Structure 1
Amino acid sequence: MTVSPAPSRVPLRIGVRKLLFGALGALSTPHHPDRYLELADPLLATVANRARIVRIDTSVHGSTTVILRPARPCRFEPGQHIRLAVVIEGVRHVRTFSPATVPGTRDVVLTIGDRPGGLVSGHLAERARVGDVVEVSDGEGDFVLPESRPPRLLMISGGSGITPVLSMLGALASEKGTSAVTFVYYARTAAHVPRRAELEALAALPNVELVFVHTRGEGGHLRGRFDRAHLDAVAPWFAETPTYVCGPSGLVEGVRNLYDEAGSTDLLRTEEFTLPAYDVDPGDASGSVSFAESGIVAPNNGATVLEQAENAGLAPEHGCRMGICHTCTAVRSSGCTRDVRTGETDSEPGTRIQICISAPVGNVTVEL
């Protein structure tokens, strides 16, 4: 006898939910239902996924850890970043951060490096309070583990670049996989190491090796800034191993150069959370930048289009400010811009550019 499976009730629940929200939308016209739902509880919003701050930890030098409890789970793969939106003095600001948690857990944990003059990082470290409500997105980006887990992995990070790596390590641990992982972490001193308890718990696993490198203090397994000698000491097989690097631009650039020399670039996956320092070519800083939609024309000082737009009083939407999230794209209708990360120029009219990493070369018009 063949027994047919019971019909799923999931489509029915979804259909009922759609009908309820449709009815609520009709009753609440001309406003969206969220306008009324958020009066009862901001987390009831249906369009955005809002989250309440449940803990803020500033005990570790150089970083702030914020624990969020979203209204609904954030969907992301280990290593991806999410967009976090906060309202500061009535203005909504969006930044991208990588959760340090394993997908599917209730809370989202962000460890955010302190940046001098950083608007959002400074707000979270100094002015945000438990109970504040923010917005979070689902995951984005391709800094993720391979679907087929290799027998060995090397991970290198510094500062708040620890967060995507922690998520990856947590996922590997939950899978009870057999990949051997060496994690090399750079911090100024022992006091600058965030999430130490979690790191030590992971290091207790038989297939995880944790290597602390202190750049300005004693007590680590190694000392100083990144150098090939560090990998020769703890991972001499690095050139044949899939490697993930996340951290400041100097660390990422150093690892990238080493893998270029070793002919192993195809094994390297990188993500950085600061733009590399770049020198403005005096020849580039000439002419003017025209913001066509707003009618503003400003002298070109050679900074990125985003910086020059902000200096001109505009507030274009943006997130990471380093070319990762693609939130700040705009059309360059004429002129030439330079990618401040690579030095490459482009002058194709009507091209959509990332204004946070594009610096004008002479006269440029952007649809902002």
Structure 2
Amino acid sequence: MVGLLDLVQKTMTTPHPLDRYLELVRPTLTRRSMRAEITHVRRSAVGSVTLTLKPARQWSGHVAGQYVQIGVVIDGVRHTRCYSPVNAEGRRDRHIELTVKAHPHGLVSNHLHENAIPGMVVDLEPAAGVFHLPEPRPERIVLISGGSGITPVLSMLRTLANEGYRGRILFLHYNRSPEWVPHRQELEAIAMQHGNVRIEFRYPETVRGRLDSGPSGAGERSGGAEGGKNRDFGGVNPPGANRRANQAERDAHFGYDELESLAPWFPSAQTYLCGPPGLMAAVRTVYEAEQLGDRLHSEEFTLTTAVVDPADAEGKVTFSGSGVVAENTGASLLEQAESAGLSPEYGCRMGICFSCTAVKRSGCTRNLRTGELDSDPDQPIQICINAPVGDVDLAL
């Protein structure tokens, strides 16, 4: 069948490929690529937008925790980014729900937050990633997230709830304040409906802002009211207020005592973590100290790298596919290619989606995430997370 379609494309659709004509009939109707139409747009939480997508028939679904790559055309240029679906796996109508946080310098996230409307069509890649729930399900599960890292673990929680999972679950989420938490009402409803699920919110910034005004709760439990009502002491902290305030600030940040108080059974659980670097580091510190590293599973959507001083960079970068040679600045090969006037394909810019893979013909590169050096010639590398060490020839 594919051979017949190739023949039709070659003989009957010149000068454009077949997909170019199909998309004139319906934007999501394509043969080789996959697309999705935005059907609903919700902006219920500060700083984020939730999109419901109706994918083309090629869509085969996702496993809770995985990510998808979408492509958006902005000012005539196609940009791709990775986002984790927040809906449970196995959704009957095959729709996808994405919650996108608008980052300060995020081109695609801000575009979607400000401009997404029903009827907009985006490119879509199949779901991918190894951050997902195992089969069979563990008897105990801890889900920890911060900020936009809520998306993959929310998909996990929704999936477990839909399955009628009976094991113990702790869902611990950190954010700026309650209004910044997407899907907060649904999380509260899950906690009310499932006695085996404990949902906790923590707002470190809010707690710090309240330290001068007396005692404060460190967060919220299972969607309940935040702490107790504070008495009015006329601007003077009551006895013990400073001690309680300091304890509240400590409780608002992740640590062993916080985890042990919420889920004393956590050493026997499988833990899934996604969030900003500070939270990720704090959780890993606890699990490594308790020798539980094999029970901690994490997903990162930010690239944390060591800063390289341009004065320490040596050699030249040759982009032999374009005939361009540039002085090595120590930045990633992707950034150096863009600085040299090239426009290589990329997606997540943090080593997740593999869109920016190119062949390194010669030279040594350093992986910016692991620090590992690689001097093997003629090897495909991800140029967003690799930087040259001396002279490098890249087939780009």
TM-score past 0.5 threshold: yes
Secondary structure of the 1:43 match is: coil
Structure 1 CA distance for aligned equivalents of residues 318 and 168 of structure 2: 53
The 5-angstrom pairing of residues 1-368 of structure 1 reads: 25=9, 28-30=12-14, 31-72=16-57, 73-105=59-91, 106=93, 107-204=95-192, 205-218=194-207, 220-221=219-220, 223-281=251-309, 284-368=312-396
Q: Which moved more, 1:31-40 or 1:95-104?
A: 31-40
Deviations 1:295-322 (A, max 9, x none): 1112222111111112222222222211
Contact 1:283–1:362 (8 Å) recurs in 2: no
Secondary structure of the 2:358 match is: strand
Residue in 2 that maps onto 1:10:
none
Residue in 2 that maps onto 1:3:
none
Q: In structure 2, give the amino acid aligned to 1:137.
A: E
Deviations 1:9-56 (A, max 9, x none): xxxxxx7xx799578647733343322221121122222221112233
Alpha-carbon distance, 1:176 to partner: 1.2
User: Compared with structure 1, are the counterparts of its residues 354 and 335 closer, same or farther at alpha carbon in structure 2 (3 Å cutoff)?
Assistant: same
User: 5+ residue gaps in structure 2?
Assistant: 208-216, 221-247
Contact 1:74–1:137 (8 Å) recurs in 2: no
Deviations 1:261-306 (A, max 9, x none): 2111111111011111422155652222211101111222211111
Alpha-carbon distance, 1:78 to partner: 0.9
Structure 2 CA distance for aligned equivalents of residues 76 and 70 of structure 1: 12
Contact 1:82–1:96 (8 Å) recurs in 2: yes
Structure 1 CA distance for aligned equivalents of residues 252 and 389 of structure 2: 38
Structure 2 CA distance for aligned equivalents of residues 74 and 158 of structure 1: 29
Structure 1 CA distance for aligned equivalents of residues 394 and 177 of structure 2: 44
Secondary structure of the 2:364 match is: strand
Q: In structure 1, give the amino acid aligned to 2:202.
A: V
Q: In structure 2, give the amino acid aligned to 1:155.
A: L
Deviations 1:241-261 (A, max 9, x none): 211001122222222222122
Residue in 2 that maps onto 1:12:
none
Alpha-carbon distance, 1:231 to partner: 1.0
Contact 1:252–1:271 (8 Å) recurs in 2: no
Q: In structure 1, give the amino acid aligned to 2:45.
A: V
Secondary structure of the 2:108 match is: helix
Deviations 1:320-366 (A, max 9, x none): 21112222111222222212222222222222211111122222221
Structure 1 CA distance for aligned equivalents of residues 56 and 24 of structure 2: 15
State the percentage of identical aligned residues.
49
Contact 2:139–2:269 (8 Å) recurs in 1: no
Contact 1:284–1:360 (8 Å) recurs in 2: no
Deviations 1:160-188 (A, max 9, x none): 11111111111111211222111110101
Structure 2 CA distance for aligned equivalents of residues 299 and 251 of structure 1: 37
Secondary structure of the 2:112 match is: helix
Q: Which moved more, 1:80-89 or 1:233-242?
A: 233-242
Structure 1 CA distance for aligned equivalents of residues 146 and 61 of structure 2: 25
CA root-mean-square deviation? 2.2
User: 5+ residue gaps in structure 1?
Assistant: 1-14
User: Compared with structure 1, are the counterparts of its residues 257 and 330 closer, same or farther at alpha carbon in structure 2 (3 Å cutoff)?
Assistant: farther
Contact 2:68–2:83 (8 Å) recurs in 1: yes
Contact 1:332–1:351 (8 Å) recurs in 2: yes
Q: In structure 1, give the amino acid aligned to 2:197.
A: V
Alpha-carbon distance, 1:83 to partner: 0.9
Residues matched between the structures, number: 352
Q: TM-score, normalised by structure 2?
A: 0.83
Structure 1 CA distance for aligned equivalents of residues 394 and 66 of structure 2: 30
Structure 2 CA distance for aligned equivalents of residues 291 and 26 of structure 1: 33
